[in-house]
Amino acid sequence: MTTNALTSKSSTSGRAGDKIFSGAALGAGVLILITLFAVAVFLLIQALPTFMADPADISGGAGFLSYIWPIVVGTVIAAAIALLIATPVGLGVALFISHFAPRRIAGPLGYVIDLLAAIPSVIYGAWGYMVLAPALVPGYDWLARNLGFIPIFEGPASQTGKTMLTAGIVLAVMVLPIITSLSREIFLQTPKLHEEAALALGATRWEMITTAVLPFARPGIISATMLGLGRALGETMAVALVLSTGNLIPSLIKSGNQTIAAEIALNFPEAFGLRLAELIAAGLVLFLITLVVNMIARAIIARHKEFSGAN
């Protein structure tokens, strides 16, 4: 029945339908470009006073670069910790749900993980400073005692646990559902034939995953990671609540460091005039960081294009 309806209709209304549909699709794409362009223009106009101002008037008194540099580094560190933890664990969880767990429990598990993406960041932040940070203090003390010679574990450790590493872990927990959810869907779409072929050739389950599932899913995994990174870079409230902010320091277990998004969130309400422009300029820089990271990811995906079904 469906097939009949398809063929008979398409001969009469098809051409116009095709035009309208492709036009709408194109329009939607262009709308996104326009929006993004508008956002960029908005940011530039608002940030402009920062770049015209006397360097001595900028926070810190040494110009915009020296103001922004420490928090750029802080942002990158926080996001890197988050991704270093969340990507392997997230992929593991996705594989577990798609290829290891019994069918009966895999569905509900995926469902619970999806839910966790929705917990507002305020809650993650509150959980981070009320539950996680105090729980990590003994661990930090141990790290400071035994691995203190490595600069990133230099002691004395913070007694509140509100450190960069804690913030990174909270971010990892927040990013995890995003990575898991998307890569799970992609793992599930691996052509059954490829998987069965691998198994028929005597591959173990892990060999089947490395030869059939992962290559197929690689662009998707990178996309999932990039979405996660987007959230980790732009996350404000959780970092603002969890991190004891301060100047840039190498140790991850002492209070200190700051991220761009948290800097904006913490200072925006009271900001005025030039300070406001500075914060918007910081937002612009965050924007640029995402741009660069995405360019790199694009380049990686481009090399593995051949695995995509649509090409």
Partner 1 sequence: MKLNRLGSAAAVLSVAALALTACGSDNPTGAAGASASGETPAANAAVSGTLTGIGASSQKSAMEAWITGFKAENPQANVQYSPDGSGAGRKAFLAGGAQFAGSDAYLKPEEAEEAKQVCGPDGAFNVPAYVSPIAVAFNLDGVDELNLDAGTIAKIFKKEITTWNDEAIAKQNPEATLPDTAITVVHRNDESGTTENFVEYLKAAAGDVWTYEVSGDWPSDIQSENAKGTSGVVSTTGSTDGAITYADFSAVGDLSTVNVKVGDEYTKISAEAAAKALETATPVEGAAENDLALDLERDTTEAGTYPIVLLSYHIFCTTYKDQATVDLVKAFGNYAVSAEGQKTASDSAGNAPLSASMEEKAAAAIDSITVAK
Partner 2 sequence: MSAMTTSERRNTATPPTGPSRKRNSLAKGKLPKWAVPAVAGGSIILGAAGSTLTGFNVATFAIYSAVIFLVAASVATTVVEGKRRGKNATWTYLIYASFILALIPLASVLYTVLEKGLPGMNMHFLFSSMNGITGAVDNQTVENGTPVLGGAYHALMGTLLITLWATVISVPVGMLTAIYLVEYGKNGPLARAITFFVDVMTGIPSIVAGLFAAAFFGLLLGPNSRMGIVAAVALSVLMIPTVVRSTEEMLKIVPNELREASYALGVRRWRTILKVVIPTAISGIASGVTLAIARVIGETAPILVTAGIASNINLNVFANWMSTLPTFIYYQIMTPTSPTNVDPSIQRAWAAALLLILMVMALNLAARLIAKLFAPKKGR
Binders of partner 1 in range 155-174 (CB under 8 A): 158-160, 162
Q: Which residues, numbered 2-61, are part of the site for partner 1 (CB under 8 A)?
A: 59-60
- 88 binds partner 2 per the rule CB under 8 A: yes
- 152 binds partner 1 per the rule CB under 8 A: no
Burial 196-226 (b: 16+ CB within 10 A, else e): eebeeeebeeeebbebbbbebbbbbbbbbbb
State which of residues 271, 274, 293, 297 lies at the interface with partner 1 (CB under 8 A).
271
How far apart are the C-alpha atoms of 46 and 64, rounded to whole Å?
A: 15
The answer to whether 187 touches 217, Cβ cutoff 8 Å, is: yes
CA dihedral (12, 18, 24, 25) positive or negative: positive
SS3 at position 256: coil
State which of residues 71, 266, 282, 289 lies at the interface with partner 1 (CB under 8 A).
266
Question: How many residues bind partner 1, per CB under 8 A?
Answer: 29
Q: Which residues, numbered 238-257, are part of the site for partner 1 (CB under 8 A)?
A: 240-241, 243-247, 249, 255-256
The answer to whether 140 touches 158, Cβ cutoff 8 Å, is: yes
Span near partner 2 by CB under 8 A; candidates 28-36, 51-59, 150-158, 250-258: 28-36
Q: Which residues, numbered 171-210, are part of the site for partner 2 (CB under 8 A)?
A: 173, 176-178, 180-182, 185-186, 188-189, 191-192, 202, 204-207, 209
Q: Which residues, numbered 89-148, are part of the site for partner 2 (CB under 8 A)?
A: 89-93, 95-96, 100, 111-124, 126-127, 130-132, 138-139
Q: Which residues, numbered 40-69, are part of the site for partner 2 (CB under 8 A)?
A: 42-43, 46
| Burial (CB count within 10 angstroms: exposed 0-12, middle 13-18, buried 19+), residue 170 | buried
SS3 at position 133: helix
Residue 247 binds: one of partner 2, partner 1, none (C-beta under 5 to 8 A by kind): partner 1
Residue 96 binds: one of partner 2, partner 1, none (C-beta under 5 to 8 A by kind): partner 2
Residue 149 binds: one of partner 1, partner 2, none (C-beta under 5 to 8 A by kind): none
Q: Residue ranges of the alpha helices (H) in 53-102?
A: 63-95
CA dihedral (267, 271, 274, 277) positive or negative: positive
Burial 29-47 (b: 16+ CB within 10 A, else e): eeeeeeeeeeeeeebeebb
Cβ proximity to partner 1, 59 vs 211, nearer residue: 59
Interface residues with partner 1 (CB under 8 A) are 59-60, 129-130, 134, 158-160, 162, 240-241, 243-247, 249, 255-256, 265-272, 275-276
